Amino acid sequence: MDGIVLDGMGEKEYLWLERGLKKMGFFSKLSLKNLAGVLPYMALVRFDKGATVCAEGEPGDGFYLIYEGGVSVTKEGWDKPVASLKPGEFFGEMSLLFRQPRTATVRTTKPSRLFALHAKDFARMLKKNPTVARTLRGVAESRRKELAQS
């Protein structure tokens, strides 16, 4: 990861993050109380244009939610990007539970700020919140099955 972790978050970023996570399939099944338990583990990270957030084949070490900027998702051997993601969109959520190698490379297309939840922090949070752990594992397993069928 080529980013710089920013010191703390302001109220604006915190509220945006809370609303953003609640809308996501991965975290949307959590109650507001349980979701509040996730927020302290999120870091706001700044990336310059063209920075590599994660690379195909690397160990999956975290989840990212785009706050500002944008990213391009590419796969080795593909002529075109797999996806272009903008603020409010996310990637890397499956690596939090399954610790799979990254299936694509993600680079910023402009200066960007991303919220990051690293796997070690996620694991720590799950130990403290068993209800959250059960809920998120169920969501992830469902998504994994959907992806396997597509």
- Closest to 65 measured CA to CA, from 45, 49, 48: 45
Mean pLDDT of the 83-111 span: 87
Say how many Å lie between the first and final Cα of the chain, rounded.
29
pLDDT of residue 18: 83
CATH of the domain spanning 4-141: 2.60.120.10
Express each pLDDT in 81-91 by its tens digit: 989 999 988 88
Express each pLDDT in 4-45 by its tens digit: 766 567 888 888 888 888 877 667 777 778 777 788 888 999
Q: In the chain, what are the domain boundaries?
A: 4-141
pLDDT of residue 39: 82
